[in-house]
């Protein structure tokens, strides 16, 4: 097997035209450089250089080998310098896993703003309602809702997105009135996930910290959060939805809180990534974008 260090050494010798000069630049004795080039030639089974007392000259095989190797060696050296801090700008690809309807509440304008601010970064979104394996799929950041299982990954809950809230459209509340107690929901139309029997049990935590449950039903049910959101916007009833999904609707006045003193814990949006150690600058920059956009008021690009 070829030693990549010897190939890099050959490139330096060819570039500088002597064992002595290459050795001086690399901090190696000339005889060590010469010996390692000879070992490389033995492994390849071909002479790479013609040696004389005055100069070195590449053979035709040496010229072809140098042309194939020089660019790759330079690229490896540049990559190493970047990792050592030579390039402080975020660069490279960020792979993001999120739900299929992610861009319904995370405007594409935010991604465009991020890419404009970081011209050396590429973003690859993997959108699916199935939970992907971060390591197997080479995912840098994943968005997950609900309570996170202990997976060994790093999880960060978005501030202000730690619980689910009851909401309805202003039109629905004007027509039906706002429920005053949790049990009043049993007499309202509710927008619920698809369930056998068409009824759902909502467990919420009240202002005193105690959990209460109410059995609700409605004329609309669906199997995605986005379908429930759109039905609620259309005035079909009261819904219990993740705050990240409806934050922009609440700010725009398209939805209104219902019984805001009741919350369902553990239904917020979380960021998940494999490790805190050696986090690439591009990944850190994207996390900063998410934290800023999904927790700051007034971000409603349209």
Higher-confidence residue of 140 and 136: namely 140
In angstroms, the Cα distances linking 81 to 67, 78, 177, 227 are: 22, 5, 65, 49
For position 40, what pLDDT does the model report?
92
- The mean pLDDT value for 19-29 works out to 84
For position 276, what pLDDT does the model report?
66
Mean pLDDT score across all residues of the chain: 83
Q: Strand 269-273 vs strand 141-145: parallel, antiparallel, or unpaired?
A: antiparallel
**CATH class in words for 164-265:** alpha beta
Quickly state the pLDDT bin for 302 (edges 50, 70, 90): very low
Quickly state the pLDDT bin for 35 (edges 50, 70, 90): very high
Q: Tell which CATH classification among 3.30.70.940, 3.30.365.10, 3.40.190.10, 3.40.50.2300 matches the domain 92-161+268-293.
A: 3.40.190.10
pTM reported for the whole predicted model: 0.52
- What are the percentages of helix, strand and coil residues in the chain, rounded to 5? 40, 25, 35
Q: What is the DSSP letter of 97?
A: E
- The mean pLDDT value for 18-37 works out to 87
Q: Domain 4-86 is of which CATH architecture?
A: Orthogonal Bundle (1.10)
Q: Give yes or no for a contact between 200 and 213, defined as CB atoms under 8 angstroms apart.
A: no
Higher-confidence residue of 150 and 141: namely 141
Higher-confidence residue of 86 and 154: namely 154
DSSP codes, 67-87: HHHHHHHHHHHHHHHIIIII-
Q: What is the DSSP letter of 146?
A: S
Q: What is the pLDDT of residues 191-214, one digit of tens each?
A: 998 887 788 898 888 888 888 899
Q: What is the pLDDT of residues 223-265, one digit of tens each?
A: 888 889 999 999 999 999 877 778 889 989 999 999 999 987 6
- Break the chain into its structural domains and give their ranges: 4-86, 92-161+268-293, 164-265
Nearest residue to 301 (alpha-carbon basis) of 72, 24, 34, 110? 110
Higher-confidence residue of 121 and 266: namely 121
pLDDT above 80 for 104: no
Q: Do domains 92-161+268-293 and 164-265 have the same CATH topology?
A: yes
């Amino acid at each position: 097997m070829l030693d990549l260090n010897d190939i890099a050494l050959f490139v330096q010798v060819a570039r500088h035209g002597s064992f002595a000069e290459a050795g001086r630049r690399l901090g190696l004795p000339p005889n060590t450089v010469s010996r390692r080039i000879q070992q490389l030639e033995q492994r390849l089974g071909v002479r790479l250089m013609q040696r004389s007392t005055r100069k070195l000259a590449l053979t035709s095989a040496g010229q072809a080998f140098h042309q194939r190797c020089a660019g790759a060696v330079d690229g490896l050296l540049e990559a190493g310098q970047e990792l050592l801090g030579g390039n402080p700008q975020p660069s490279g690809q960020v792979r993001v896993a999120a739900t299929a309807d992610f861009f319904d509440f995370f405007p594409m304008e935010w991604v465009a703003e991020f890419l404009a601010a970081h011209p050396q970064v590429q973003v690859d979104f993997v959108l699916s309602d199935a939970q992907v394996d971060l390591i197997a799929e080479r995912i840098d950041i994943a968005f997950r809702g609900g309570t996170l299982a202990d997976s060994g990954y790093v999880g960060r809950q978005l501030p202000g997105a730690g619980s689910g809230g009851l909401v309805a459209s202003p039109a629905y509340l004007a027509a039906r009135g706002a429920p005053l107690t949790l049990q009043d929901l049993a007499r309202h139309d509710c927008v619920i996930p698809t369930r056998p029997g068409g009824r759902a049990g909502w467990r919420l935590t009240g202002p005193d910290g105690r959990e209460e449950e109410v059995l609700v039903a409605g004329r609309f049910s669906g199997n995605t959060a986005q379908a429930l959101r759109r039905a609620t916007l259309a005035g079909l009833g009261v819904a219990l939805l993740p705050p990240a999904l409806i934050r922009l609707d609440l700010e725009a006045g398209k939805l209104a809180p219902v019984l805001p003193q009741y919350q369902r814990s553990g239904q917020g949006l979380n960021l998940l990534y494999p490790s805190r150690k050696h986090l690439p600058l591009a990944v850190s920059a994207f996390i900063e974008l998410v934290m800023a956009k999904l927790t700051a008021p007034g971000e409603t690009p349209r």
